[in-house]
Amino acid sequence: MGRSAELAQIRRLFGGARLVTLTGVGGVGKTRLALRAAYEAQPSPRDGTWWVELSPLRRGSLLAHTIAEALPLADRSTRPMIDVVADYLAERELLLVLDTCEHLIDECALTVETLLAAAPGLRILVTSRRRLNLFAEQLLTVTPLPVPGLPGPRHTTGGEADAVALLVARAAEAVPGFTVADAGHADLVRLCRRLDGLPLAIELAAARLRDLSVTELTDRLEDRFAVLGETEQAVYEADPPWHQALRTAIGWSHELCSPAERLLWARLSVFAGSFDAEAARQVCADQRLPDHTVLPLLTALADKSILIWEPTGAGERYRMLDTLREYGAHWLRGLGEDAQVHRAHLRHYLAVARHADASWIGPDQPAWHDRLTGEHDNFRAAMEFCLTRPDGPHDHSALELGGALWVFWYPCGHPQEGRHYLERALAADTEPSAVRDQALWACGLAMVAQGDAEAAAALARECEAAAGQLGDEDAAAHARVIAMCVAGIRGEADETLSLVRSLLAGQRGAEKPTFPLLMAHLGRSHGHNLAGRHADAVAALEQLRTVCDRHGERWVRAWGDIFQSQAELARGRFHAAQVHARAAAEVKYRLHDPQGSASAVDVLASASCGLGQERRAAHLLGVAQQIWDTLGRPQAGVPEWVAARRACEEQARAALGDDAYQAAFDAGYHADLHAGITYALTRHGPLAPPSGHGTRDRRG
């Protein structure tokens, strides 16, 4: 609301600079101003505007990973993520918004400097209570909204002051039928002056108008002006004198909460990002906060604007603004419950990870992907708590959580981050145990996903030795799966099939399918393809399909379709190759598996070449290439897949000529990805449309 002068100033600053930082006290509206500036950016960035929310990130070591997640980057190489991001941005023209940087100021400054140097077409908008202190940085200090009668530049006399307009709008949301006439304009102005025009303070006050009149509210605030006092949190250099108004508003809101609401507010501060009601119940409920009270208390805190309620496709979630979370965390420390509630948070997310581990092979894989992705920030917070608390290495919790999250690291596509955590956990906890073997398995899968065959092979040997020492057959199977994947990446058909036979022998009589068993069936097909025995590769998949279909498993089955499509392609059965590749592409795209999607589209391109549809093939190669470019490891590093794609490119180029080939390829490469995949799934039809401005925007 308002802020037209600030928006104009941001446009002017970007006219001569590539880095603009919005500073100001917490609750002054930096994030909302940045959102408006991003949407109204002129000229519109050719490659879109990308929003990176940093408030849930507790450590700067994953800053580049967080930026990569906001971009269409799912890199699975072993390169440092900052290099991956810099290379991706190097030839693009886009606006990157880094929101809430003050707690990672040094890491943000270094990252911003690196990215600006690498990408001449990049502009960065930062929100932070502290400046980055970079030479290229242009600063805009965001002040509270104008209020009638205040001294200085924030005084306004004409029209409706922005602060009053915000109060009226929020009051109307809280109290149906609220009008300026009923409240009295003079009293509204007096309340806004008391709150010094600070947007967050105004919104907190507006929520109380359900219970109090504007006059009563203002009187109570004046009586409690110094209620909060100083906190342990540093007052940043950007904080002007009116930070007291925010402390007053938050402290007063806290006083007006019931004791149970205050206790829940404090305990909820351990969550990173958003959370659902069940998580709040599991983490926060005890004798003082019985289970049945948590949901009504969440509703009460949302009504008071302490929590933000967010309906999502996966259900209702809640989140807390940083300033309010910091206040809750301060009170949690004062209650002496900080470690206790963080342990409860860890227990809950460990239970979620275990459930995902046990349930992944089944019909709910899309739902599990969405749930785990929605809890990413909380998994990070739990892992950091395990790894940084003094007793962390001794109770194996980091190993247990990291190992149980193999589903998130491998099928859900976060191998770099998984390896980052697991290597730290394994180095800190070296005592042989079944929990450590599970962590070795998860780390090995992350290495396989990155194509780091040498490191994965060494880890497989370590896992095999530990399994023998403990007599753990499950761990032995895990070691063989990793070794089998390594052999497959290297194109070693005989070694792949030898390990498959060992795995299948060890899995006989299993009551339910295990991931190693499914991977063994998959590896058998891949091994036969590598050996040129394509009919055997197709036959090997029959049992895999039977098992997967019986249990509703999709992720491995779709890889089976990819391997069959490759076998059919090699046999010259191009229509059959298309059928299986389309089936795989549809599932892999729905499961957010970019490597699977790109592999399937590569096969579709080769099949199109085989059918004499070279223009379609070139377009599909472009669609696949835009995905491979986000992964950092074309064709998963498998030599045979690289050769097959190269042969398709050469055939299409020879048939079309260089100019026509490049035009068709570029059309696919610059297409909106959803449209590109949709085109790949159709037998015929128009080429996928170009992405255009905004189709890849992710503004949070």
Tokens 């920030």 found at: 377
Tokens 């010094």 found at: 196
Q: Where in the chain is the domain with CATH 1.25.40.10?
A: 346-556
Q: Fold for domain 346-556? A: 1.25.40
- What confidence tens digit (pLDDT) does each residue in 264-290 have? 999 999 999 999 999 999 999 999 999
Q: Give me the amino acid identity at 462.
A: E
- What confidence tens digit (pLDDT) does each residue in 660-673 have? 999 999 999 999 99
| DSSP codes of every residue in 30-74 | HHHHHHHHHHT-SSPPTT-EEEEE-TT---GGGHHHHHHHHTT--
DSSP 148: T
At 552, give phi and psi (nearest 5°): 75, 15
Distance between CA 166 and CA 203 in Å, rounded? 8
> Residue 181 corresponds to which tokens in the numbers above?
């006439």
Q: Give me the amino acid identity at 685.
A: G
- What confidence tens digit (pLDDT) does each residue in 226-263 have? 333 343 444 344 444 446 777 778 888 888 899 999 99
Q: How does the average pLDDT of the chain come out, rounded?
A: 89
Which residue has better confidence, 225 or 103?
103
- What confidence tens digit (pLDDT) does each residue in 301-327 have? 999 999 999 988 778 999 999 989 999
Any residues with CB less than 8 A from the CB of 550 and at least 6 apart, and which?
Answer: none
Distance between CA 259 and CA 621 in Å, rounded? 61
Which CATH class for the 4-141 domain? Answer: alpha beta
Q: Fold for domain 257-336? A: Arc Repressor Mutant, subunit A (1.10.10)
Distances (CA, A) of 463 to 257, 382, 449, 490: 53, 25, 17, 20
For residues 506-524, average pLDDT? 85
pLDDT value at residue 688: 54
pLDDT value at residue 689: 55
Strand partners, 22: 127, 140
Distance between CA 534 and CA 487 in Å, rounded? 18
The strand pair at 94-99 and 49-53 is best described as parallel
Is it the case that residue 699 has pLDDT exceeding 50? no
Confidence of residue 579 (pLDDT cuts 50, 70, 90): very high
Q: Where in the chain is the domain with CATH 3.40.50.300?
A: 4-141
> Residue 230 corresponds to which tokens in the numbers above?
């100083």
Pick the CATH number of 557-700 from 1.25.40, 1.20.950, 3.30.70, 1.10.20: 1.25.40
Confidence of residue 629 (pLDDT cuts 50, 70, 90): very high
pLDDT value at residue 697: 32
